A and B are shown apart, each in its own frame.
Chain A
Amino acid sequence: MLKLIQNEWMKLWSKKSSWIMAALLVVILFASMGITKWVNSSMMANQEETWQEVATNQQTNAEAMLQDPNLSDPQKEYYEGQAAIAEYRLANEVPAFEYASMQQQVIDAHMMLSLVTLFTVIVAAGIVASEFSQGTIKMLLTRPVKRWKILTSKYITTMIYAILLSILTIAVSALAGLIFFGIGDGTFLVWNGSEVVEGSYWMEALKMAGLSFASVWIIGTFAFMLGTVFRSSSLAIGLSIFLMFTGIQAVYLLANYEIVKYYLFTHTDLTQFYTGFMPVPDITMTMSLIVLAVYFLIFMAVSYWTFSRRDVTA
C-alpha cells in the first residue's frame, strides 16, 4: 500500500496543476493579508477603539445575547465565556491581541481553509477520473493489485494533499502576519467552564483548523465519489463546488423543517460550536460527528462499489 501511495504522490506532484494550486494558496494568503493591512491602516486614522472599549462592548453584547430564552446550550456556554473573559480583561488589565497582530492572524487562519477545500475538490475529483480520461486506467488495473487497494491509495493521497495545504495555510498566515503586522501585545484567554485562564494561541489555531478540516474532508470525499462514479473530473469539480456554495445556503431554507438535522451542510462547519454562530441551534457536536460519519460511509461505499465492479471500456 505504501508503494501505491508513493506512486500516487509522484503522479500528483508531476502535474503542474498541483504546484500551481499550492503556489496560488500562498499568493492569495499573502495578498489578503496585505489588503487587510492596507484597509486597517487607512481606517486607523479615523477611529481608534481602545481595547477597553472593545472588551466593554463584548461584555454588553454577550450579556444581551444571554437574555434570549431560545439560546441552545453550546451558544449559552459561548456567550457566558465571552462575558467572563471580557470581565476578566477589564478587571485585571489584560488586553486581547490586536486584530493587526501575527497571533490574531494565526488564530483566524482556519477561515482560509475554504480555499483548501476548493483545491482539494479539484484534486479529489481528478485523481480517479483522469486515469479514465487519459486511458491509463487500463495500465493501472492490469497489475497484480486489487482494485480497492488502488482506490484506497488514491483517497489517502488526496487527504494527505489536503492536510499538507491546511498546514501550509497556517504556516503562511503566520509568516505573512509576522511580515505585515509583527508580534503584537496581548494575551489569549479561554473560559474553561468555571474560570478564565490563559491559553496558547497556537493551540487555539490548531483546534479551529482541525474543526474546519472536517468540511475539507467531507466535501473532498464527496468530490472523490463523483469523480469515481462519473469518470469526468470537470463534472465532479463543477457539481462539488456548486453544492459547496448552494448547500450552505439551503441550510437557511430548510431551517424550519426537521430534515435539516440530517442535512450534510448543517454539520460541515464544526467551528460553529465555538463561535456561537449556529444557523440550526439545537444540534450538538456529537450529532454532527455522527451525521458526517454516516455521509462519509455512504460516499465511500458508493465509490468502492462502482470502482471495483466497473467494466473498463475506456
Chain B
Amino acid sequence: MTEKPIVQIKNLSKTIGKKNIIKNLSLDLYKGQITGFLGPNGAGKTTTIRMMVGLMRPTEGEVFIDGQSIQSNFEESIQKVGVIVENPEMYKYMTGYKNLLHFSRMHKGISKKRIDEVVQQVGMQNRINEKVSSYSLGMRQRLGLAQALLHDPKFLILDEPTNGLDPAGIREFRMYLQKVARENGVAVFVSSHLLSEIELLCDRIAVIQNGELIDIKNVKELHVSRYYIHAEPNELALEVLSGAGFPVTAHDKGYLIDTESQHIPGAVNMLVSAGAKIYAVQPHRATLEDQFLEMTGGGQIAETHSK
C-alpha cells in the first residue's frame, strides 16, 4: 500500500521484571481499514494497546499517530485517538450526558452541539439524562463509543469491545464500527479473542503470540475456495483427483481439494467415469478458528494465563 499509515508501531518492546511481554512489534494501520488484533490470552494484546494510548511506557520503540509520537508528543497525538479499553468504565453516579460533558471538557473545542450530535449518532437521546448506573451493558457500550467519537478521531482503538454484549448488541456494534470506518475514513484497531466476531468485522487481522507478531493477513485472502469430496473407494478417488492435478488433503471420510467452483463438474465427471461412487460434494469453508489454531500452533488458545 502506498498510502501513508495513520498509525505506525515501531519496534515496540515491553519488559516487566525479567519477562519480555512484547518483543519488537511493528505494525502499520491505514485509513478506513479495520484491523483485528488476535491472540491467545496472555499474548500481550492488552499491553500493546495500553502502550499505544500512553497508559503504559514501552521499554523500547515508539508509537506514531499521524506522524507524532505518543511517547514524546502525547497531547498532540492522543487528540486524534478515540479509546475504548475493555468495558468502558464510566462515572456511574453521573448521567450519561454529564459523562460526555466531562470528557468533552478535556478536549479542545467540543461544543454542546457536537455532544448532542454524537448522542444522536449512537441513538441514546432518550436515555442520556439518566444515571449510568441504570444503563444496561449495551447502553454503556454505546456511551463508550460516544465518548470515543466526541473529538472526531482519526484512529479508533478498542480493546475487547464486545465483551459481555449479547448477539444483537454485537451485531449493532459491528455495523456501527464499519460505518464509522467507511464514512469517516477512520482507522480502527480492535483486539479480541472472539474469532468469529473478528472475521465478520475486520478487513485485516494481525496475530500476536507470546509478544510477537506472527502474521498479518487480509481477511479476503483467508477465504480460499475449497471443496470437500467424499467418494468410494477412497484410494480410487485419491488417485483420480491427484492425477488431475488438484491439491488434495485428507479430511474426515474423504478429501479436500483447493479449487475454484468451475472445476468441480469436471472433477465429478472424472470420478464417475473412473467408477467411483460419489456420496458428497460440498464447499468447505475453513473458519478463522482453524487458521488461527494453525498459525498459533494449536491448543494455545485454551491455555489460561492469569491476566
Residues of A within 8 A of B (CB): 3-4, 6-7, 10-11, 14-16, 134-136, 138-146, 309, 311-313
Tell me the minimal C-beta distance from B73 to chain A in angstroms.
10
Count chain B residues whose beta carbon lies closer than 8 angstroms to a beta carbon of A. Answer: 32
Contact A141 to B79, CB < 8 A, known contacts A11-B102, A14-B91, A134-B89: no
The listed residue (A16, A145, A146, A311) touching B57 by CB distance below 8 A is A311
Residues of A within 8 A of B86 (CB): 135, 138
Chain A residues with CB under 8 A of B91: 11, 14, 134, 136
Could you give 24 example pairs across A and B, Cβ below 8 Å?
A: A7-B105, A7-B106, A10-B94, A11-B94, A14-B91, A14-B93, A16-B93, A134-B89, A135-B86, A136-B90, A139-B83, A139-B85, A139-B89, A139-B90, A139-B147, A140-B106, A141-B55, A142-B54, A142-B55, A143-B78, A144-B106, A309-B57, A311-B57, A312-B50
Q: Which residue of B has the minimal Cβ distance to A138? A: B85
Set of chain A residues within 8 Å of B22, measured between Cβ atoms: none
Q: Give the chain B neighbours of A6 by CB distance below 8 A.
A: 105
Residue-wise interface mask of B (37-61) relative to A, using a CB-CB cutoff of 8 A (1 in contact, 0 not): 0000000000000100111110000
A313 touches B90 (CB 8 A): no
A142-B55, A312-B50 are known contacts; what are 11 more A-B pairs with Cβ within 8 Å?
Answer: A7-B105, A10-B94, A10-B98, A14-B98, A134-B91, A136-B89, A139-B147, A145-B75, A145-B106, A311-B56, A311-B57
Nearest residue, chain B, Cβ from A141:
B55
Instruction: Tell me whether B88 is interfacial, beta carbon within 8 Å.
Output: yes
Known: A7-B106, A142-B78. A312 touches B89 (CB 8 A): no
Instruction: Tell me if B55 and A14 are in contact (CB < 8 A).
Output: no
- Chain A's interface: helix, strand, loop or mixed, by majority? helix
Q: At the interface, yes or no: B92 with Cβ under 8 Å from chain A?
A: yes
Given A138-B89, A139-B147, A312-B50, A14 and B105 touching (CB < 8 A)? no
Q: Which residues of B contact A (CB under 8 A)?
A: 50, 53-57, 74-76, 78-79, 81, 83, 85-94, 98, 101-103, 105-108, 147
A15–B89 Cα distance when bound, in Å, is: 16
CB of A114, distance to nearest CB on chain B (Å): 28
Report the Cα distance A276→B98, complex, angstroms.
51
Q: How far is the CA of A143 from the CA of B105 in the complex (A)?
A: 10
